[in-house]
Structure 1
Amino acid sequence: MTTSITAEQSQREQALVDLVVRSFDTCEDERLKFLMQSLVKHLHAYLREVRLTESEWERAIEFLTQAGHITDDRRQEFILLSDVLGLSMQTIAINNEAFANATEATVFGPFFVEGSPEVPIGGDIAFGATGQACWVEGTVTDTNGTPVPGARIEVWEADEDGFYDVQYDDDRTSARAHLFADADGRYSFWAITPTPYPIPHDGPVGQMLEAVGRSPWRASHLHFMVTAPEMRRLVTHIFVSGDEIGWKDSVFGVKESLIKDFELQSAGTPTPDGRALEGDWTRVQFDIVLAPEGA
């Protein structure tokens, strides 16, 4: 939708843009100066393009205020907003350029928590979280195929009801842990088979999605963050092949290379570590390739 404006009105609006941009000229931090001046230009260009009304501006301020009020140390509404607008994925794309055969990155998400418990190779990260057992295994190598021994592998996921531990009120720690790759770069652990779940949609971001007719649902996934000396930090997920949400993922996180086969194992099938399970379970292979630091 476009609205014709007079040359005089356009000049008046541009004069304000120029005035605000010049207000940052004395900033001694050149990067900050560039960021702020560019932000002003783009924000004003948006306002002028859509001819924002005062009532729309007021509603936007109200929306951001609500996002701030609902945000606390367990919920980050602004990350959710960034995610559903594709800003998180675009930032990741900019900062994780493709390098050789390195594993692709995807969104960090709002539910990572520092200080997760350590489990040994073959350990169980569920800690009582409900869901179908899943055996996860793979290797961590560099782009030349050389193992990365001792790589730290941080993993976290939602339970079968679609909730992360931090969304409960009982201070539980479940479905999250970290472990270290062995001398050959190998790792394995028990988790739970990922299932689809909606992002928190009882706040302003959820209201926005409902207003525009978008779904809050995320494709089934398991989070990874992998770090090692002299390697670029990798934040990624693996997604379940055949998932009902798939490419409709509300935060645009799905990438073809990250879709994996979670192979169903019938009840009674021997497990890799001899663990006795009552029902069926799944297993998945995820070989992680790290790019060099600075790549």
Structure 2
Amino acid sequence: MASFDGCTDPRLKQVMQSLTRHLHAFIRDVRLTEKEWEAGIGFLTAAGHITDDKRQEFVLLSDVFGASMQTIAVNNEAQGNATEATVFGPFFVEDAPRIPIGGDIAGGATGQPCWIEGTVTDLAGHPVPNARIEVWEADEDGFYDVQYTDARVAGRAYLYSDAEGKYAFWGLTPTPYPIPHDGPVGQLLASVGRSPVRASHLHFMVTAPSLRTLVTHIFVEGDPQLAIGDSVFGVKDSLIKRFEPQAPGTPTPDGRDLDSVGWARTRFDIVLAPADA
């Protein structure tokens, strides 16, 4: 503890001394053996080796310990009816394509077509025009585009809300999938008898000037995985939405021809808190 007394950055000093205090308390509490310490170092080394620009094993580790959700909780205190935040996940990438309102993020990814629509407003209910809405999701086989080796861009895009704060796009009806479990985090979960499966979800990141950036998902009402549990603890009741099934041939909102396949639709109205909240 005293070794950090000379730190001139008050916040860094606080963090490092608290980390030291809790880490030493943990070692004393469990009477950590040298063999266990070596195993922990080996685990972290393996997590580093498997991490690259498309896979972040340390984010997965943070997620499965609930650390990601705890960090979100202390940094996104409830503000009125603002939409709740949840985990970012390891599969967001920059440079997704832009689509117009009503465009399709699927990019050839397999799955049931789904129409997603809603509005972006502030806490007072005023529309937020030109909010940037990033969306990304897995295909029906449970894989994100970056998990394939052919450099495809699919299941992700961004769009902007219109002058009335409205947005809409075609995506895929989310399905449950396991987080990557072929690495050290997966081995950890298997060792303790925990499932790697995440509840069905669609990712959102919404940004607008003077408003708090929102990172969240929506989840599928009726998904059996909701009762079993989400491997990264990301589910919040307010984010569970009804995905209404539509029979083949049901008219679509934009006239898209889906006579031969069923589709779904859902609504997600987004409320942003002030940036200083």
* TM norm structure 2: 0.99
Aligned with 1:263 (options 244, 249, 252)? 244
* Correspondence 1:28 to 2:8: yes
Alpha-carbon distance between aligned partners in 1 of 2:147 and 2:80, rounded to the nearest angstrom = 38
The aligned counterpart of 1:17 is none
Alpha-carbon distance between aligned partners in 1 of 2:158 and 2:77, rounded to the nearest angstrom = 26
Percent sequence identity is: 73
Q: What pairs up with 1:132-143 in 2 under 5 angstroms? A: 132-143=112-123
Q: CA RMSD in A?
A: 0.5
Residue deviations 1:86-128, cap 9 Å, x none? 0000000000000000000000000000111000000000000
TM-aligned CA deviation for residue 28 of structure 1: 1.2
* TM norm structure 1: 0.93
The aligned counterpart of 1:3 is none
TM-aligned CA deviation for residue 244 of structure 1: 1.5
The structure with the larger Rg is: 1
Alpha-carbon distance between aligned partners in 1 of 2:12 and 2:117, rounded to the nearest angstrom = 43
Q: What pairs up with 1:63-82 in 2 under 5 angstroms? A: 63-82=43-62
The aligned counterpart of 1:105 is 85
TM-aligned CA deviation for residue 294 of structure 1: 1.0
Q: What pairs up with 1:164-183 in 2 under 5 angstroms? A: 164-183=144-163
Alpha-carbon distance between aligned partners in 2 of 1:175 and 1:50, rounded to the nearest angstrom = 44
Alpha-carbon distance between aligned partners in 1 of 2:192 and 2:222, rounded to the nearest angstrom = 27
* Correspondence 1:291 to 2:273: yes
Aligned length: 275
* Correspondence 1:253 to 2:231: no
* Correspondence 1:160 to 2:140: yes
The aligned counterpart of 1:50 is 30
Aligned with 1:191 (options 163, 168, 171)? 171
Alpha-carbon distance between aligned partners in 1 of 2:69 and 2:7, rounded to the nearest angstrom = 30
Residue deviations 1:25-68, cap 9 Å, x none? 11111111111111000000000011101111010001000000
**Structure 2 segments unaligned to the other structure (5+ residues):** none
TM-aligned CA deviation for residue 281 of structure 1: 0.2
Counterpart residue identity of residue 267, structure 1: P
Counterpart residue identity of residue 115, structure 1: D
* Correspondence 1:41 to 2:38: no
The aligned counterpart of 1:206 is 186
Alpha-carbon distance between aligned partners in 2 of 1:294 and 1:49, rounded to the nearest angstrom = 39
The aligned counterpart of 1:90 is 70
SS in 1 for 2:164: coil
Alpha-carbon distance between aligned partners in 2 of 1:294 and 1:62, rounded to the nearest angstrom = 41
Alpha-carbon distance between aligned partners in 1 of 2:242 and 2:169, rounded to the nearest angstrom = 16
Q: Which runs of 4+ in 1 moved over 3 A?
A: none
Counterpart residue identity of residue 69, structure 1: H
* Correspondence 1:59 to 2:39: yes
Alpha-carbon distance between aligned partners in 2 of 1:150 and 1:71, rounded to the nearest angstrom = 35
Alpha-carbon distance between aligned partners in 1 of 2:13 and 2:124, rounded to the nearest angstrom = 40
Alpha-carbon distance between aligned partners in 1 of 2:57 and 2:272, rounded to the nearest angstrom = 30
SS in 1 for 2:4: coil
TM-aligned CA deviation for residue 292 of structure 1: 0.6
